[in-house]
Amino acid sequence: MEDARVHCVVLKVRAVPTPTTGTPAQATAVTSVLADRAGAWAVRVHDVPTTRDALAVARAWEA
C-alpha cells in the first residue's frame, strides 16, 4: 500500500486527479515508464512482471 500513497502524493503535487480504477501495480508501471523516458537508471517496484511488461510495450511503441 505504500506505493499507492506515494503515487497519490505525486499526483496531488502535479494537480492530476487520483485514478479511481486500476491497481497500485499499474500506477507503478506507468510511473516507471515515465521515469524511464525521463532517463532514470533505476526504479524500485514490487510487481516486476507488470512493470517489465509496461516497459516492453512502451519501448515497442516507440520503435
| Per-residue model confidence (pLDDT) at position 8 | 47
| Number of domains making up the chain | 1
Residues spanned by the domain of 35: 2-62
Average pLDDT over residues 15-35: 77
DSSP state of 38: T
The model carries a pTM of: 0.64
Report pLDDT digits (tens) over 29-60: 988 999 999 998 888 888 899 999 999 999 99
Q: How far is Cα 54 from Cα 23, in angstroms, rounded to an integer?
A: 14
Higher pLDDT, 4 or 63: 63
Beta strands of the chain (E only): which ranges?
none
Q: How far is Cα 25 from Cα 13, in angstroms, rounded to an integer?
A: 20
